[in-house]
Chains A and B, each alone.
Chain A
């Protein structure tokens, strides 16, 4: 077992110290080595807060108020800032949604990946690091890897930037990769390429992936295990086959029904939506 999240609770507080919002409520799940777990849910359901809580990056006025995050048996919530810094980037890496703003415009992309190596792989010297960066560019399928070392981010396309982000995340061969909607800002063909790349890398390096998305099509392509979140709560957890063939929780059913299927939508009929008037938390959780 690589990561075990037990009863994780993240809350935000207002100025006088009262709870303003419980963004993640008693969430528990596990990630096995080499497997992909997807978290799905609508906007504001607590997907991203869950990942930030695992990394210990919840900013004031928010706080993780309860639960455990066991990474290889160590509780990440009890680590101090220094030991968290050595885990971040080295054992757990993260990719973001917006490749336009996730690279520093002041430095070349090669330098930025080099920086990660400098922080976590102190045994490598300058030439070895450069060699390694170019290898990483090759690994993520970057065209002309040696030339790209000295490019600034503004010269790269969105897909290339996301490849740089993946290269940066893979630089120290992390055990866990958290991908927070990495393909949302990309167009469909590039999205398919990036997903394929992530699957390939997982097969090669045995990395576990925590994949956050609201796109059920991506879930079907990536996941081994799926967690459905709704208003900060896990409402259903199942293997990917189970979830798509036999969704049990009413919210999951509503979510799946809201995807229009070619040929199945009748002319002039309305598309199915998730009914806002139902509080889906009233139904029992379906965790398998």
Chain B
């Protein structure tokens, strides 16, 4: 029997073959370490204002110095520190909103796929209605109802992500439930709940894991969008989207305020998408070369 350690090693070996996925993985690892070690990595407190040092350029530009590597914003806060702390918030947004979408998407998709008939029709029509409204618009509506706040934004993004998960779970449950091992397990006396949770779902994990990774990226992007519109994180929270919104009026005079948070968002979204693509290749048993 292969032990757990060997499995992970084997997995990494497969994953390494895909260069772009590996780059994505590095980005994600850097992001996670930023989030975990933010207090040690960031040179300054992200919230402390120092009005004497406002709008300092990054170190390579005129007027910049190594005291503030990426410069400061209009309140004299260190940009690098804010971006490092922003990783925490972005990861939190990703984890919480993906968990919300995953939880409800799993329940809805699994029951629609497994029970079929009227249950399927009702659930999938709700999903269709949700999908027919543009995601960001739906998120704006939900946040307007709940009130502008970072946590409410996560809930909104979570709800927006439900239909995608529900569809993916339903499709894989539909494919699995016809297989004979499901009937075999029923014949052995398994209940419906047991059949769904222990027999069918473990065989549907591949598309769900991939979608969770991709969903993570879009959650980060949508949260940045909501914060940019003033519906997510509120100042002075160092959220990347909110930082973009703050910097709009300085776009001609202090480009660094808009460029670096933008790059941070871009790299995060790209990193998670690349990892998602890589996982899809590795986890698909048909792609395995043995």
Q: Report whether chain A binds chain B.
A: yes
B188-202 interface code vs A (CB 8 A; 1 in, 0 out): 111100000001001
At the interface, yes or no: B203 with Cβ under 8 Å from chain A? yes
8 Å CB interface, B105-140 against A = 116-117
Contacting residues, chain B, for A86 (C-beta < 8 A): 189
Max chain B C-beta neighbours (<10 A), residue from A87, A96, A104, A108: A104
8 Å CB interface, A118-145 against B = 119-120
Contacting residues, chain B, for A284 (C-beta < 8 A): none
Nearest CB of A to B180, in Å: 4
A168 to B183, CA, bound (A): 13
At the interface, yes or no: A150 with Cβ under 8 Å from chain B? yes
CB of B181 within 8 A of CB of A104, answer yes
User: How many positions in chain A have a CB within 8 Å of any CB in the partner chain?
Assistant: 31
Contacting residues, chain B, for A116 (C-beta < 8 A): 188-189
Contacting residues, chain B, for A96 (C-beta < 8 A): 180, 183-184
At the interface, yes or no: B8 with Cβ under 8 Å from chain A? no
Contacting residue for B188 out of A60, A101, A115, CB 8 A = A115
A125 to B199, CA, bound (A): 22
CB of B190 within 8 A of CB of A102, answer no
B149-192 interface code vs A (CB 8 A; 1 in, 0 out): 00000000000000000000000000000011101111111110
At the interface, yes or no: B1 with Cβ under 8 Å from chain A? yes
Contacting residues, chain B, for A107 (C-beta < 8 A): 202
A107 to B205, CA, bound (A): 13
At the interface, yes or no: A85 with Cβ under 8 Å from chain B? yes
Question: Chain A: which residue is nearest B190 at the CB level?
Answer: A119
CB of B179 within 8 A of CB of A168, answer no
At the interface, yes or no: A259 with Cβ under 8 Å from chain B? no
Contacting residue for A120 out of B179, B183, B189, B199, CB 8 A = B189
CB of A94 within 8 A of CB of B187, answer yes
Contacting residue for B183 out of A57, A92, A105, A119, CB 8 A = A57
Nearest CB of B to A130, in Å: 14
CB of A88 within 8 A of CB of B180, answer no
Contacting residues, chain A, for B188 (C-beta < 8 A): 88-89, 93, 115-116, 119, 168
CB of B181 within 8 A of CB of A85, answer no
Question: Chain A: which residue is nearest B192 at the CB level?
Answer: A81
Q: A104-B199, A105-B203, A106-B203 are in contact. Are A85 and B191 (CB under 8 A)?
A: yes
A35 to B188, CA, bound (A): 22
Contacting residues, chain A, for B186 (C-beta < 8 A): 57, 88
Contacting residues, chain A, for B202 (C-beta < 8 A): 104, 106-107
At the interface, yes or no: A231 with Cβ under 8 Å from chain B? no
Q: A96-B180, A101-B181 are in contact. Are A60 and B189 (CB under 8 A)?
A: no
Contacting residue for A89 out of B179, B189, B199, B203, CB 8 A = B189
Contacting residues, chain B, for A108 (C-beta < 8 A): 1
Secondary structure dominating the interface of B: helix
8 Å CB interface, A76-105 against B = 85-90, 92-94, 96-98, 101-105
At the interface, yes or no: A165 with Cβ under 8 Å from chain B? yes
At the interface, yes or no: A222 with Cβ under 8 Å from chain B? no
Contacting residues, chain B, for A115 (C-beta < 8 A): 185, 188, 190
Question: Chain B: which residue is nearest A115 at the CB level?
Answer: B188
CB of B184 within 8 A of CB of A102, answer yes
A98 to B186, CA, bound (A): 16
Contacting residues, chain A, for B1 (C-beta < 8 A): 108, 150-151
At the interface, yes or no: A55 with Cβ under 8 Å from chain B? yes
Contacting residue for A102 out of B181, B191, B199, CB 8 A = B181
Contacting residues, chain B, for A88 (C-beta < 8 A): 186-189
Contacting residue for A55 out of B179, B180, B187, B199, CB 8 A = B187
Nearest CB of B to A217, in Å: 24
CB of A98 within 8 A of CB of B180, answer yes
A139-172 interface code vs B (CB 8 A; 1 in, 0 out): 0000000000011000000000000010010000
CB of B179 within 8 A of CB of A101, answer yes
Q: A101-B179, A104-B203, A105-B203 are in contact. Are A165 and B187 (CB under 8 A)?
A: no
A104 to B194, CA, bound (A): 14
B1-24 interface code vs A (CB 8 A; 1 in, 0 out): 100000000000000000000000
CB of A57 within 8 A of CB of B187, answer yes
Contacting residues, chain A, for B203 (C-beta < 8 A): 104-106
Residues of A in contact with B (beta carbons under 8 Å apart): 55, 57, 60, 85-90, 92-94, 96-98, 101-108, 115-116, 119-120, 150-151, 165, 168
26 A-B interface contacts by CB (under 8 A): A55-B187, A57-B183, A57-B186, A57-B187, A60-B116, A60-B117, A85-B189, A88-B186, A89-B189, A90-B189, A93-B187, A93-B188, A94-B184, A94-B187, A96-B180, A102-B181, A102-B184, A103-B181, A104-B203, A105-B181, A106-B202, A107-B202, A115-B185, A116-B189, A119-B188, A168-B188
**Given A55-B187, A93-B188, 11 further pairs, Cβ under 8 A:** A57-B187, A60-B116, A88-B188, A92-B187, A102-B181, A102-B184, A103-B181, A103-B184, A104-B181, A106-B203, A120-B189
Residues of B in contact with A (beta carbons under 8 Å apart): 1, 116-117, 179-181, 183-191, 199, 202-203
